Structure 1
């Protein structure tokens, strides 16, 4: 391993967890989920449902497989969440015309309303999380995370 990265890696003798980037990625994500869950609790929506609803708002008529990839979840887990959302009247499902094995999902009017509420409530959490950062810093962070993701996905 190259010495230029050694201070960031747990394999060194003088390793400090606070210098490990993935420690911070998981800490930030975990804290974000906790904050979002506490805000959404009063609406009976958890982070898993929120992620599916937000994904559907950005990609209407997505397949369950598409949603699974978008929210980084196992297909079986995504399917269970979709059918819970369907039971709650927030989404509808239908078989794809071209391939009946593919189940497509779309937001209902109630689901769109809930997504709007979720976005309003979570915008407070997002604003709190970006306090003290400039838009340029946020863009650079996103670019860096995208690059790390692409490196790992190779």
Structure 2
């Protein structure tokens, strides 16, 4: 595993040009902008690498990212609407509907009209869906362990709080 201090993708030029950890000035002309000092660069890069590795691992257990998202959104013994899953998984509703229909045909989920509002379709995991969820979770867990092994001092609660705050602020727009 690479040491974090190696700073992936950093060049001698960017290391020499390091600024303090002050946020970039949105009113500037952008001439001082360095992508490697931009938090969204790292968020996007980390997400891309994570999804790439997750996709490879899921393929080995007969799943894909779309199915992973549905399987992880729906808790065992719980039912969520297609809209709720779509929102949690950050997938457009028509795309999610098609994915859930395929998963229902594969026997991973069951769909039924909500008792209190027949216009809403609730999705729950089947026995096969629960088994697939376990395989998916084990795959993700291996990646998590590989990435965060040796980070006993990392404050995951603080990291999650900060990321949640970023999401809340982005949702406000």
TM-score if structure 1 supplies the norm length?
Answer: 0.89
| 1:101 aligned partner | 119
Query: Once the two structures are superposed, what CA deviation does each residue of 1:96-148 show, in whole Å capped at 9, x if it has no partner?
Result: 12211100001000100111111112210011122342364322221111111
Q: Are positions 1:133 and 2:151 aligned together?
A: yes
With a CA cutoff of 8 Å and minimum separation of 6, indicate the structure with the bigger relative contact order. 2
Structure 1 residues 141 and 11, CA, compared in 2 at 3 Å: closer, same or farther? farther
Structure 1 gaps, min length 5: none
TM (norm. structure 2) is 0.80
The one of 59, 64, 80 aligned to 2:98: 80
Structure 1, 93-102 or 138-147: larger mean CA deviation: 138-147
Change (3 A) 1:32 1:142: same
Distance in structure 2 (CA, Å) of the matches to 1:69 and 1:28: 21
Q: Which residue of 1 aligns with 2:54?
A: 36
Equivalent residue runs for 1:1-154 within 5 Å: 4-6=22-24, 12-57=30-75, 60-134=78-152, 136-154=154-172
- Cα distance in 2 for partners of 1:10, 1:40 equals 43
Larger helix proportion, structure 1 or 2? 1
- 5+ residue gaps, structure 2: 1-21
Q: How many residues align?
A: 151
Question: Judging changes above 3 Å, is the alpha-carbon distance between structure 1 residues 150 and 105 closer, same or farther for their aligned structure 2 residues?
Answer: same
Report the CA distance between 1:12 and its aligned residue: 2.4
State the Cα RMSD in Å.
2.1
